[in-house]
Each structure stands twice: as C-alpha cells, then as structure tokens.
C-alpha cells in the first residue's frame, strides 16, 4: 500500500483514465483544515492520482492549487464530492467520495439502452448537477457516460457526475501545444472542435450526446477516425431513431444544436426532461402528454452562459480543427482552409500558395520520393492520440488480479512510449435494480425498446506516440512513427471446390457408399475362396455345412495323428 500524503493509503486501482488512475484508498488520519471533508481514520475514499506528465507540469500544479477552493466547494447530490487535493512532491491527487457502483458507460455496455423515461429522468439529474456547477462558474467540458458514476446506495441508483475540473486542469500550454487535446471526440461540441470560445453550452451539447446514447446505445457521431467524428459534429444533423418519442427528440435536437446560443440552459434542460418523462410514461394523463408535446417552449437558452476562461499562451486544448472551419459548407467550392505553414498548401495540382478548394482540413502530407508517406500531420497524430485515449477510457474495467496497475504506479522513463493497457472487463457484479425498472417506460416503448447489446465500435489501429518531454515544453516532440510494415505477399487466389454447392449429408452418403462397396467385395471373396458355392450346390443348411467342415477338420487331424503313430511304431520295431 502506497501512502498519499500523510493522510491516505492507496489500496487497489479502480480504473485508469486519460488523466490518471483512480484508486480505492483508506484514510489514515483525519485531514487538515484545508480539506473539504476531514474524514475519519479507516474511512474508504477514492483517489485520482493524476498522470505524471500533468503533475510535472508547473502550470497544472499552479492551476491545481489555484482552483482547489472551486473544486472543493462544488457540492451537489449528483456531483461526486471532492474531499481533498493532495500535492506531494511530484504527485497530484484528488481525494473523492468512493462511489459504490458502475459508471454509466459500463452500465450501458452490460445492460443495453435505457427506456426513454429512464433516460430522461437520469439525464435530468445530470442537468441538475450542471446547473449547480454552472451557477458556480464551473464548466465540466468532458461530459460522457464514463464520467457518470451510478451510486447504488439505498437500493436505487443515483447518477453522480465526476471529473469536474479535470479538463481544466489538463488545459495546460505545455501539454496541449503538442499532441494532446482535452476532450473526447464523440462528445466534443462543435465550437470546441473548432477552437472557438467555449461556454457552459458545451456541457449541454455533451448532455445531448449522452441522452442520445442512453436511448440508442451509441453516440450519434461515432465510428471512423476521430477526425471524421469531429467533422460530423460540425456538419451532420443526427436523425431521430424510431424508438425515440417526438418530445424527447425535440430536447435532444436542441441540445445538439450547432449554435451554442440555441441550446437550453442546464436548468431548463432538467425541467424539460422531467416534463418529457411524465408525458411519455404509461400513466401520463392528457395534460402531461400535452405538456410533453409542447416541450420546445421550455428549452430557453441561458441568457448568461458561463464562459470557459482562456488559458493564456495555450493553444486551445480542444482545438483540433482550424478556427475558421466554422464557415465550412460542404457544397462550397471556395476555400475554408488554413495555409499549412510557410510553404502554403499544396493542392493536388501542386499550386503552391493556393488552398485546395475541396478540402476542409489541413492537407495530407506529401509523399516522399520513395513512395513512403511522410510523418503524419501533427493534427492527425493529435487526433489519433486522442482517439487512442478515448478508446482506452471507454473500457476502464480492470480485473484487479490481472491489472498491471496493481504494481505501484512507476515513473516512466521519459523516452519510453506509454504502456498501452489492453481493455479488460471486470466480471459483472451488479446487484442494483436496473434503471429500466426504476423508471418504467410506456408499454409501446417497452415493446419497441428491447434492451439491445451495445456494439462496441471497431477497434482502431493504434498509433503510438511519444510522451511529452516535461522539461522542454517549447519543443514539441514528434510523434513516434510505427515501424514500417513489409509489403504483404499477394495471396494466391482461393481454390474453390468444383461443386460450389454445399449439400447437407453429402459426407454421410459418401461413407455409406464406401461401406456398401466394401461389403460387396468381401462377399465376392467369400463366395470365390470358400466352399460356400459347393454347399449351396449341395443344398446344405448352415449348421449342416458347419458340422461337415468340423468333421472334415477332425478327420484330417486324426489322419495326421495316425500317420505319425505308424511311422513312430515302425521305427521302434526295427
């Protein structure tokens, strides 16, 4: 067990995310006055130990200390309470209440989508948490099912939003200038993807994506590369799945509005979702149904959304697309491209200095003369790194007995690439009442809405990237290139059988025919080589023939015996 400060002992890892590892831990002694919750010796807590690259970044440490009061005062029944912040040498850790229950991502994966009523009520509680944090000036910025823990106390399940402030802590010039960005592509708001100023409306967008995922089993913009996902956030309007009732879709659509000013405030979102839950439930009366149908009127935007403070000197951590890509029109022939460095963009025609009118992203790097592609574009590396991280953080459940993190977290040599954790699953250990049962759905929806298993998106090609040199933030490290694969031998064309049809029972038929042929040959040999023909000709019965054969053999043996006796006697007499 490893001590964290003088007050806590790490016991076992609970999971690992992009920003650190969460441990089950025990309080050794009562914390000091600087902690929000003093705690009692022996009490169990959860401790998120931030990654070393964060802890080694002076800017993060400063922000960690500066914002501790904000994080510690954030209390709400649907927010995981941060009890203490520990800074010890190069270790940064957040001490939190330990939540006994799965996170929402795991719950969805194991139980399938929720009913519209359950999804609305659950998201309404998350919206309550957002309303409280926004009014306190805190924007979450990384809302996703993995950051919602389901507290199983009292036989029910209460959604608890966690990881507040982590995105902001990770928002460091030294860290984000190179290959990292904060956020998860499937949940990133368009303005974040473009690097436009962000407000609390990014959390509402995240809530809309989460709500969509709760009722369908997957986020609306998923699959493909991270870059494609981000493009889809910018340009694609999701369609209403047939299982989503109209009033709920009205709410989702407004949350997913590309224009942040059209998205509802968190408070209005919570109210609207409760109205929808009441109006689409089995016991809804006509007034509730009418209220749900008019839910659009409840979705007024926030007149004064909380702004996400700019980080001086930092590239926007979520900026993964050019800032002018907001004017992107897929049909437009005119350029929305930035120039790529001093040489400008080289389009396919090689017009130096002229943007490729068809492209909306930075150009793909030119091929080297030997035909090998050059190193990936920094944005591609950045996005690949983010995607890897996203995939990793989506499968957090580590069987502690197999988890290499059971070893104490070791400092990594700066030149070594980070060890990738293979996704592992904890065996299900649920004893909670399913959310579907807590929030029953109307019958017609229950029929439509059989729990479906969440199909994990195909695993991406993982690309390794080098960890950042913490001491040299001014010199972005180039991502490590994966070793070039030797070209594959072309496969020989597959040999197909002459009879491409597969006949059931053909194998059995062949076996039978073979046996019949064997029997015929054996019968013929017996007929030819044994006295069977004579017996048949003489009209003998079976037992008679056998008796004859035995008699013949007996005579033959006795004749041999006699002959031997005579010759022996003759010899003796002479």
Binding site for ligand ATP (CB under 6 A): 14-15, 17-20, 22, 46, 48, 80, 96-99, 103, 142, 146-147, 149, 162-163, 393, 396
As a whole number of angstroms, the distance between CA 50 and CA 54 comes to 6
> 97, 142, 151, 163: which one is catalytic?
142
Q: Using the minimum distance from each CB to ligand ATP, give the nearer residue, 19 or 178.
A: 19
Listing DSSP states for 14-76 in one string gives EEE-SSEEEEEEEE-S---TTSS----TT-EEEEEEE-HHHHT-HHHHHHHHHTHHHHHH---
**Contact yes or no for 337/355 (Cβ under 8 A):** yes
Q: Using the minimum distance from each CB to ligand ATP, give the nearer residue, 126 or 361.
A: 126
Element (H, E) at 13: strand 8-16
Number of Cβ atoms within 10 Å of the Cβ of 506:
11
* Cα-only R_g, the chain: 37
**Contact yes or no for 96/47 (Cβ under 8 A):** yes
Tokens of 487: 């070209």
CB neighbour list of residue 121: distance below 8 Å, 6 or more residues apart: 273, 274, 277, 439
Q: Using the minimum distance from each CB to ligand ATP, give the nearer residue, 268 or 396.
A: 396
Give ∠ CA 393-248-396 in degrees, rounded to 5: 10
Q: Using the minimum distance from each CB to ligand ATP, give the nearer residue, 132 or 325.
A: 132
Please identify the residue of the shown chain whose CB is closest to the bound ligand ATP.
17
Locate tokens 């996902």: which residue? 229
Q: Using the minimum distance from each CB to ligand ATP, give the nearer residue, 408 or 494.
A: 408
Q: Using the minimum distance from each CB to ligand ATP, give the nearer residue, 78 or 162.
A: 162
Min CB(371)–ligand ATP separation in Å: 38
Biggest CA pair distance of the chain = 144
Spatial CA neighbour of 181 closest among 389, 478, 471, 421: 389
Q: How many CA atoms lie within 13 A of 393 on its CB side?
A: 25
Q: Using the minimum distance from each CB to ligand ATP, give the nearer residue, 149 or 189.
A: 149
142 counts as catalytic: yes
CB neighbour list of residue 320: distance below 8 Å, 6 or more residues apart: 181, 188, 193, 195, 226, 227, 230, 379, 382, 383, 386
Q: Using the minimum distance from each CB to ligand ATP, give the nearer residue, 109 or 449.
A: 109
Distance in angstroms between the alpha carbons of the first and the last residue of the chain: 109
Min CB(103)–ligand ATP separation in Å: 4
Q: Using the minimum distance from each CB to ligand ATP, give the nearer residue, 18 or 117.
A: 18
Q: Using the minimum distance from each CB to ligand ATP, give the nearer residue, 5 or 185.
A: 185
Number of Cβ atoms within 10 Å of the Cβ of 413:
7
Min CB(240)–ligand ATP separation in Å: 29
Min CB(500)–ligand ATP separation in Å: 49
Min CB(468)–ligand ATP separation in Å: 17
**Contact yes or no for 189/205 (Cβ under 8 A):** yes
Strand pairing report for 158-161 and 91-97: unpaired
Min CB(100)–ligand ATP separation in Å: 7
Min CB(247)–ligand ATP separation in Å: 30
As a whole number of angstroms, the distance between CA 404 and CA 415 comes to 20
As a whole number of angstroms, the distance between CA 101 and CA 154 comes to 12
Min CB(255)–ligand ATP separation in Å: 20
As a whole number of angstroms, the distance between CA 245 and CA 279 comes to 10
Min CB(443)–ligand ATP separation in Å: 34
Tokens of 354: 């002229």
Question: Sign of dihedral through CA atoms 224, 228, 229, 233?
Answer: negative
CB neighbour list of residue 146: distance below 8 Å, 6 or more residues apart: 17, 103, 104, 105, 393, 394, 396
Min CB(396)–ligand ATP separation in Å: 4
As a whole number of angstroms, the distance between CA 483 and CA 152 comes to 47
| Residues designated catalytic | 142
């Amino acid at each position: 067990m490893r001590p964290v400060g003088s007050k806590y002992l790490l016991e076992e890892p609970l999971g690992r995310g992009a920003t650190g590892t969460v441990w089950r831990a025990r309080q050794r002694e009562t914390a000091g006055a600087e902690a929000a919750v003093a705690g009692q010796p022996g009490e169990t807590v959860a401790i998120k130990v931030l990654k070393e690259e964060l802890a080694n970044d002076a800017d993060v440490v400063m922000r960690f200390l500066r914002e501790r009061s904000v994080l510690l005062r954030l209390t709400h029944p649907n927010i995981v309470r941060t009890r203490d912040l520990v800074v010890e040498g190069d270790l940064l850790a957040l001490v939190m209440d330990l939540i006994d229950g799965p996170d929402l991502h795991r719950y969805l994966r194991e139980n399938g989508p929720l009913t519209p009523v359950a999804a609305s009520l659950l998201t309404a509680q998350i919206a309550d948490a957002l309303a409280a944090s926004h009014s306190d000036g805190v924007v979450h910025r990384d809302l996703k099912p993995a950051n919602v823990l389901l507290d199983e106390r009292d036989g029910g399940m209460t959604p608890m939003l966690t990881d507040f402030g982590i995105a902001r802590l990770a928002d460091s010039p030294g860290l984000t200038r190179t290959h990292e960005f904060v956020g998860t592509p499937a949940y990133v708001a368009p303005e974040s993807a473009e690097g436009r100023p962000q407000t609390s409306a990014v959390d509402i967008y995240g809530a809309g994506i989460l709500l969509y995922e709760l009722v369908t089993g997957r986020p609306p913009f998923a699959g493909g590369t991270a870059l494609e996902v981000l493009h889809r956030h910018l340009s694609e309007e999701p369609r209403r799945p047939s299982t989503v009732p109209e009033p709920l879709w009205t709410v989702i659509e407004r949350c997913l509005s590309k224009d942040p000013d059209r998205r509802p405030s968190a408070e209005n979102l919570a109210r609207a979702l409760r109205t929808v839950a009441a109006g689409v439930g089995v016991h809804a009366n006509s007034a509730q149904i009418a209220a749900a149908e008019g839910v659009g009127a409840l979705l007024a935007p926030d007149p004064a959304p909380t702004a996400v403070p700019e980080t001086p000197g930092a590239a926007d951590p979520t900026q993964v697309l050019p800032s002018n890509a907001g004017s992107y029109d897929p049909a437009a022939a005119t350029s929305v491209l930035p120039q790529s460095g001093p040489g400008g963009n080289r389009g396919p025609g090689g017009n130096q200095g002229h943007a490729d009118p068809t492209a909306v992203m930075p150009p793909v790097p030119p091929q080297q003369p030997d035909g090998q592609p050059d190193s990936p574009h920094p944005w591609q590396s950045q996005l690949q790194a983010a995607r890897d991280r996203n995939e990793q953080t989506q499968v957090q459940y580590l069987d502690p007995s197999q988890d290499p993190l059971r070893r104490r977290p070791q400092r990594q040599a700066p030149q070594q690439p980070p060890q990738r954790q293979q996704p592992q699953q904890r065996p299900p250990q649920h004893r909670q009442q399913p959310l579907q049962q807590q929030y029953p759905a109307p019958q017609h929806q229950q029929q439509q809405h059989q729990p479906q298993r969440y199909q994990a998106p195909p695993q991406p090609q993982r690309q390794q990237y080098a960890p950042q040199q913490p001491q040299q933030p001014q010199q972005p490290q180039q991502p490590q290139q994966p070793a070039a694969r030797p070209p594959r031998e072309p496969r020989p064309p597959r040999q197909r059988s002459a009879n491409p049809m597969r006949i059931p029972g053909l194998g059995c038929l062949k076996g039978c025919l073979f046996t019949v042929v064997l029997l015929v040959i054996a019968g013929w040999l017996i007929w030819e080589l044994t006295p069977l023909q004579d017996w048949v000709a003489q009209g003998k019965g079976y037992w008679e023939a056998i008796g004859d054969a035995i008699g013949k053999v007996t005579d033959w043996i006795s004749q041999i015996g006699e002959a031997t006796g005579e010759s022996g006697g003759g010899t003796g007499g002479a």
